[in-house]
Amino acid sequence: ITSIPVISKILIDAGLEKSSFARVILTAAVIEDGFLYIALSILLSQAKDLVHVMQIIAITILFFALNIKFGPGILRFVRGLR
């Protein structure tokens, strides 16, 4: 479903994991996966009501917002554990 693990491995093997190029590629992949997740949820829930679809979209948006807000701090913390 997602290409992020494959892209990450390729970037690590190429020694590009800390480059701005890698950040752009991974950011685009994450955003694309989010939109595809929403689209897939909508398609799969067509038999459900609109409230369920809106709930899935809201949870996905919340997930991205929390990652944008707290992700950098969590990554700094994890890097400090090494």
Domain that holds residue 56: 4-80
Are 2 and 28 in contact, with CB atoms under 8 Å apart?
no
For residue 79, pLDDT over 70 is answered with yes
For residue 62, pLDDT over 90 is answered with yes
This prediction's pTM: 0.56
- Domains of the chain: total: 1
Cα 3 from Cα 73, distance rounded (Å): 24
- Reported as a single tens digit per residue, the pLDDT across 23-51 is 999 888 888 888 888 888 777 777 567 77
Are 27 and 33 in contact, with CB atoms under 8 Å apart?
no
